[in-house]
Amino acid sequence: MSDVPTPPSPPEPPEENTGRPFTAVLEYDALRWFISTARTVAEELKLIVSDSELWAVGLNPSTALMGTVRYHPSSEAGEVVDGTTAIGINFDRFDKVVSSAKAAAKHNDGLIELSLSDGQIIIEAGAFEYALTGIVPDSIAQPPDVQHVEFDAALNLETDHLETAISAVELAASTATIHFDGDHFHVSGRGDDDRSEISLSVTDSTEEAEDEPNTIVGGFTGGADGDQDIPDPLMSTFAVDFLSRVARGFTESEEIVMGMGDNHPMSLGAKAFGNRGLATWMLSPRLDRGGSS
């Protein structure tokens, strides 16, 4: 039986109800994860509150990177999300405001309360209160519909492996080539002077991956049809700057699921806080297939 994961794809955001009131009481650490992970995509994103969940949806101004972050509260931790709305937020400022409330949250059972009033997000924690002016949601860049995008392979990577690969390539080059031939997965970069590479063996068995060092679970998926011809190897080149941005969202995740193809967008999915948090990114490849900067 194959343990090859399902390639991640950004989930379809819920229907928006702009400007309607909401309240959310969240653990400080969970809210910081939600905001800092969303910031890996862009500075300005759309915050959507719906069905007892928080969503952040955005498209990088370069249009090369899009992402969705979703968080479902834990009632055991005293968390709750009530109401439906959509509002644009400068997540850089949002992050600074919530960071400044850390001490206040500590004296408030570790909880932060959010609400909407007259186009402002009200952030409260005990004696702390800050009103952050929102942005008209329609002015936020809307990611394209990618539900139809198929991937030829999927891999389950330890976060440490991918972070190491990205950090090393960042020192050597401005682009990284991701290569998969069915048996091995490589991330490499070659600059004017230096080069870097990480190479991992690939199996479709979780048990084998646990027994063998530097081995991950993955394999070809065959796309949606399952019988199409797949290039061997699969190879795509990506800008290191965007890979580094995405890697900053891995802090609370032990594993990353990757979907990839040949000269094809790459998807990355990471879960956090006991699967209550889910972040999904999709990154467009560079047009060249080489690994040079």
Do 260 and 178 contact (CB within 8 A), yes or no?
Answer: yes
Do 249 and 40 contact (CB within 8 A), yes or no?
Answer: yes
User: How high is the pLDDT of residue 50?
Assistant: 87
pLDDT classification of 227: cutoffs 50, 70, 90: low
pLDDT classification of 246: cutoffs 50, 70, 90: very high
CATH numbers and ranges of domains, the chain: 22-139 (3.10.150.10), 153-283 (3.10.150.10)
CA distance 6 to 260: 11
Predicted model pTM: 0.92
Do 282 and 267 contact (CB within 8 A), yes or no?
Answer: yes
CA distance 73 to 94: 19
Q: What percent of the chain has pLDDT over 70?
A: 95
Strands (E), 136-214: 153-158, 175-180, 184-190, 195-203
Go through the chain and tell me how many residues it has.
Answer: 293
Tokens at residue 78, please? 């005293």
**pLDDT, tens digit (0-9, with 9 covering 90-100), for 99-138:** 999 999 999 999 999 999 999 999 999 999 999 999 999 9
CA distance 81 to 60: 27
CA distance 202 to 250: 21
Q: Which of 267, 285, 45 is nearest to 150 (CA)?
A: 267
User: How high is the pLDDT of residue 91?
Assistant: 98
**pLDDT, tens digit (0-9, with 9 covering 90-100), for 205-226:** 999 999 999 999 999 997 544 4
Strand 175-180 to strand 153-158: parallel, antiparallel, or no bridges (unpaired)?
unpaired
Strand 53-59 to strand 65-71: parallel, antiparallel, or no bridges (unpaired)?
antiparallel
Do 244 and 263 contact (CB within 8 A), yes or no?
Answer: no
- Average pLDDT estimate for 158-180: 96
Do 134 and 118 contact (CB within 8 A), yes or no?
Answer: no
